[in-house]
Structure 1
Amino acid sequence: MTAPISVPAKASAGQAPGKIRTLFGAGIGNTLEWYDWSVYAIFAPFFAKQFFVGGNATSALLSTLAVFAVGFLMRPLGGFFFGWLADRRGRRFSLTTSMVTMAVGSLIIGIAPTHDAIGVGAAVILLLARLLQGLAHGGEIAASYTYVAEIAPGERRGLWSTSLYISVTAGIVLASLIGAAGSSLFGEQALRDWAWRLPFLLGGVLGLVGLYLRRTLEETEAYTEGARTRSTRELLRALARNKKSLARILGLTAGVTVVYYIWAVGISGFAISSKGVDATGGLWATVAANVFFMITLPLWGKLSDRFGRKPVFITYGVVFLALSFPLMSLINDSALRLGVLMGVALFFLGAFVGIMPAYFAELFPTEVRASGVGVPYSVMVAIFGGTAPYVLTWLHTHQLDWVFSCYLVALVAIGLITTFLTPETKGRPLT
């Protein structure tokens, strides 16, 4: 792999205030984009029957979650396309373009006609909007992980990388807050009838805010001063030179993407539709657990900057090998219990996702960093993360919840083994 060069000392000192402002601008845009993505999973139980007419609410929900999963199929393409843009045209350009694409998808869902109005065409429109969002979201990962890692001081890269998932979680919390507030103000029936549209329409409007913030971001020094790819052929050749790092990200990501899309995004919908948790209580539990998650994320970043990336990743893997079965089996119709279980799961999940942008970025040289991170990560999310809520709900309908826990443990084990086989990157400079 190409040997990186160090970040100039002035980037850690004299330019710190400007970089913090830049980090804040990147985080706000990231929050808005993840809000648009997450609101679908949170509100799926409410609008499912608006687009799919089946024998019961569960079958309609399964169809809606299938569309959620299909949206992930576009993420590898988005990771490649927007990663290529980020490596060729710059991190800022890619971030801005993906933000606009995501907002357009959200707006389409917000104004989409229902099955009662146009029949099967409603589901087609929903599917196309999710494919558009999937494309954008794959690009978001490629560019934002790279951007945050490159603007961070080398000795604090782990801590700074936690800001990415703080902003990601802020988007999830915002979506959950709107859901909880909507349920409290309008009632669950209104959410199912019409109020589910409001968060999607809001996401489209907020996209304008994100567009402004990301257009004012500064480009990273690593990109402006380093090597860059200028054609698709050069990009493919650079990826081939870093095939070991690509394989490592595949192994590391398979399990954590399932953990994340269950416990941070999809578990409230599952608990509401399948376990009988009160909708308002379940949404407020999601808000509380994710706020706790945000607060504790910097702890893992500081630990990784002091002790290394690998020990923190290993902590996550060992804990989820031990707790995956108990956490899933303890979910019942109590919103309070759901909140506690989510809090525990998200705390230890933070050991992985909090420092993931730093660890992944440190495995690649600048010329291929965005694509190298975005493509394999998006492939694993498409295969395992996007399908996780559907698989869990389907297995539950067949009284096979334990199979899902076995599936999760196996994937986490693969990630743990890969961690042991991946070199430590703490202190590695970026070029």
Structure 2
Amino acid sequence: MGVGAKVEGAKSSDGAKTALREVLHLLRVYWALLLGNVLEWYEFAVYSFLEPYFQENFFAGSAISTWLGFACTFVARPFGGIVIGVIGDIFGRKVSTFLSIFGMLIGTVGQGLVPSYASGQVAGTIGLVLLVSLRFLQGICTGGEIAAVSTYITEVGPKSCLARSMALIGITCNVGFLAAQLVSYLALELLGEEMMLEWGWRLPFLIAGIPGLIATLGRRCMPESNEFLEARAAAVVSEPGADAEEEVSESNGSSSDVKEGSKRAAASAKMRSLLGSYWGNILVGIGAVVAVSTLQYGGLVWCNIFLKKRGASPDHLIAAGVTARILSILLSPFTGWLADVKGVAWLHLLGALMLTCTGLPLYLVMLWHPTSLAAVLLAYGVGFGVIFAFTGMIFFLYVVELFPVQVRNAGVGLSYNIGFCAFGGFAPMVFEAAYHGYLWGPGWLLSLAGLVTALTTLVSLRLQKSGRMQLVHERPVPYFSQCGCDPVADAEVEEQADPPSVKV
């Protein structure tokens, strides 16, 4: 017994060291991918933390209109997810990630340069149009960014510790949001409320330019995903007439036209395949992000501004925000390990149930005690931080697993971004309206969002068990392992004539 225990302990230790080495190698090779993801979420979040200044400079003091300006970015995200996603599925993950970071950089820095109504009515109107246009551009690129990054990491990451590798995306998201909150806070502390309202709100957008350029240049040097290259090579081999057709077209001097036509045909075929064969998976992906998108933008974003307007000290808010983000980051290795051991669907369901049970109580604590440091730290910092560690750090893998490599970029881009557009982008505006209509409304919305994602997970597992849907295309097991039972593994075993034993 003693010798066996020592051997098992040594194996476990070696496995942990191997996983750490593989994750660190991924970080060294693909640092530009992750730096760009930090900037994506920084650039996307900074508007929300500067909402009061946009409210006064562009939206005539209307909070709901200002949050609608925030939501317009989300409206563009599904379009970006499809366009940049299809580009990634045809030309490669490297191309799509370069396009997304470059467009986001223009959209973000540009927002810091637009004129406001303080410069006059005409200048303000032009500035408002430019602001909305740049936010649409930012939304298009952000929609393509997250699909490309999550697909890239899934395909190049080690399969034995894939969830821990994907936790890097969750970590960079939190770092980006935390950086946006810290920069906004520091700008206010250094400049004061009057100068922030006049011109200081521009600085957080402008300083994103330098690291954005570094990430953009770094992405040009990243290696392409081998999994994508193999899938593309297999597709070429499966079309034996393609080479002959290209030779004939070149001899006729029309190769460029044929190539353009073949690219359009490939894009059309990708979309037909995605919408025709994987519409159920798209619906599962949309439902899967309801909890995290509502918690992110209704809980962590709107509640921050809500507390500020109800008298919470900026020091209290920055302490609570840092606590929530740091706690999520510190817990991410644990949640990644848990997903690698128990399965990504198991962790996803657990996080959704946590939000269902605690969303309303945590909101009520903030509603009743907005000026109490202990209450804000407990509810916003610790409560939201822990829940986000379970709902927002590994869910990328859950969505990526729904689609095969041939349509993965576009599938993730469409399902993820529709979900985040509907339930995340409009969350601050809906929460604002719900609060004015019924004080407890935002809390009920948080709990309802968790319930929707929990039910989506359970229904999808049932569909997988009955053979009507394939949920996993990358790493079949573990997916939902509890008490030695994994519905995905069981379904795969039942489909085989001479099934081997499956260890979960």
Would you call these one fold, judging by a TM-score over 0.5?
A: yes
Determine whether 1:168 maps to 2:199.
no
What is the RMSD computed on CA atoms of the aligned residues? 2.3
Picking from 126, 129, 132, the partner of 1:124 is 129
8 Å CA contact retained: 1:298, 1:354: no
Task: Give the deviation of 1:16 after TM superposition.
Answer: 7.0
Check 1:121–1:366 CA distance in 2 against 1; reply closer, same or farther (3 A cut). same
Which residue is 2:205 aligned to?
200
| Higher mean C-alpha displacement, 234-243 vs 377-386 | 234-243
Secondary structure of residue in 2 paired with 1:401: coil
Determine whether 1:248 maps to 2:248.
no
Which residue is 1:144 aligned to?
149
Check 1:370–1:253 CA distance in 2 against 1; reply closer, same or farther (3 A cut). same
| Higher mean C-alpha displacement, 305-314 vs 264-273 | 264-273
- 1:164 and 1:14 mapped to 2: Cα distance? 17
Which residue is 1:91 aligned to?
93
Picking from 21, 31, 37, the partner of 1:30 is 37
| Higher mean C-alpha displacement, 389-398 vs 168-177 | 389-398
Task: Give the deviation of 1:15 after TM superposition.
Answer: 7.8
The letter for the 2-side match of 1:82 is I
Picking from 347, 360, 367, the partner of 1:312 is 347
8 Å CA contact retained: 1:33, 1:207: no
Task: Give the deviation of 1:301 after TM superposition.
Answer: 0.8
Check 1:321–1:135 CA distance in 2 against 1; reply closer, same or farther (3 A cut). same
Check 1:224–1:264 CA distance in 2 against 1; reply closer, same or farther (3 A cut). farther
The letter for the 2-side match of 1:52 is F
8 Å CA contact retained: 2:167, 2:394: yes
* TM-score of the pair, normalised by structure 1: 0.90
- 1:336 and 1:136 mapped to 2: Cα distance? 39
8 Å CA contact retained: 1:176, 1:284: no
The letter for the 1-side match of 2:378 is V
Check 1:13–1:175 CA distance in 2 against 1; reply closer, same or farther (3 A cut). closer
Picking from 309, 312, 334, the partner of 2:372 is 334
- 2:107 and 2:379 mapped to 1: Cα distance? 32
- 1:412 and 1:353 mapped to 2: Cα distance? 12
8 Å CA contact retained: 2:356, 2:449: no
- 1:65 and 1:184 mapped to 2: Cα distance? 24
Q: Between Structure 1 and Structure 2, whose CA radius of gyration is higher?
A: 2
The letter for the 2-side match of 1:173 is L
Task: Give the deviation of 1:136 after TM superposition.
Answer: 0.9
Q: Number of aligned pairs?
A: 412
Task: Give the deviation of 1:33 after TM superposition.
Answer: 1.5
- 1:241 and 1:129 mapped to 2: Cα distance? 34
Task: Give the deviation of 1:409 after TM superposition.
Answer: 2.6
Check 1:362–1:107 CA distance in 2 against 1; reply closer, same or farther (3 A cut). same
Which residue is 1:259 aligned to?
295
1:14-40: CA deviation from partner (whole Å, max 9, x where unpaired): 987653312433211110121111111
- 1:97 and 1:225 mapped to 2: Cα distance? 23
- 1:15 and 1:27 mapped to 2: Cα distance? 16
Which residue is 2:487 aligned to?
none
1:285-336: CA deviation from partner (whole Å, max 9, x where unpaired): 3123212211111211100100112221121122111111111111112355
- 2:23 and 2:442 mapped to 1: Cα distance? 45
Which residue is 1:8 aligned to?
none
- 2:191 and 2:394 mapped to 1: Cα distance? 39
- 2:124 and 2:435 mapped to 1: Cα distance? 29
1:255-303: CA deviation from partner (whole Å, max 9, x where unpaired): 3211121233332222212x22123432343123212211111211100
Check 1:301–1:113 CA distance in 2 against 1; reply closer, same or farther (3 A cut). same
| Higher mean C-alpha displacement, 409-418 vs 144-153 | 409-418
Picking from 54, 74, 77, the partner of 2:76 is 74
The letter for the 2-side match of 1:110 is G
Which residue is 1:293 aligned to?
328
- 2:273 and 2:392 mapped to 1: Cα distance? 26
- 2:318 and 2:425 mapped to 1: Cα distance? 21
| Higher mean C-alpha displacement, 261-270 vs 357-366 | 261-270
1:200-241: CA deviation from partner (whole Å, max 9, x where unpaired): 001233321120121222111111111469522211222022
- 1:259 and 1:105 mapped to 2: Cα distance? 25
Within 5 A, what are the aligned runs for 1:167-186? 167-186=172-191
1:349-369: CA deviation from partner (whole Å, max 9, x where unpaired): 221222212222222111101
Determine whether 1:421 maps to 2:459.
yes
The letter for the 2-side match of 1:26 is L
8 Å CA contact retained: 2:435, 2:441: no
The letter for the 2-side match of 1:27 is L
Determine whether 1:361 maps to 2:368.
no
* TM-score of the pair, normalised by structure 2: 0.77
Q: Which runs of 5+ in 2 are unaligned?
A: 1-17, 237-262, 462-470, 478-504
8 Å CA contact retained: 1:75, 1:379: yes
8 Å CA contact retained: 1:42, 1:266: no
Picking from 222, 225, 231, the partner of 2:227 is 222
8 Å CA contact retained: 1:30, 1:164: yes
- 1:16 and 1:378 mapped to 2: Cα distance? 27
Check 1:18–1:158 CA distance in 2 against 1; reply closer, same or farther (3 A cut). closer
Task: Give the deviation of 1:98 after TM superposition.
Answer: 0.7
8 Å CA contact retained: 1:43, 1:269: no
Check 1:163–1:114 CA distance in 2 against 1; reply closer, same or farther (3 A cut). same
The letter for the 1-side match of 2:417 is S
| Higher mean C-alpha displacement, 289-298 vs 337-346 | 337-346
Check 1:18–1:293 CA distance in 2 against 1; reply closer, same or farther (3 A cut). closer
Runs of 4+ with deviation above 6 angstroms: 11-17
- 2:399 and 2:131 mapped to 1: Cα distance? 33
Q: Which runs of 5+ in 1 are unaligned?
A: 1-10
Which residue is 1:4 aligned to?
none
8 Å CA contact retained: 1:53, 1:115: no
- 2:78 and 2:200 mapped to 1: Cα distance? 32
- 1:165 and 1:223 mapped to 2: Cα distance? 23
- 2:176 and 2:350 mapped to 1: Cα distance? 26
The letter for the 2-side match of 1:293 is S
- 2:293 and 2:22 mapped to 1: Cα distance? 35
The letter for the 2-side match of 1:414 is V
Determine whether 1:385 maps to 2:424.
yes
The letter for the 2-side match of 1:408 is L
- 2:186 and 2:272 mapped to 1: Cα distance? 50
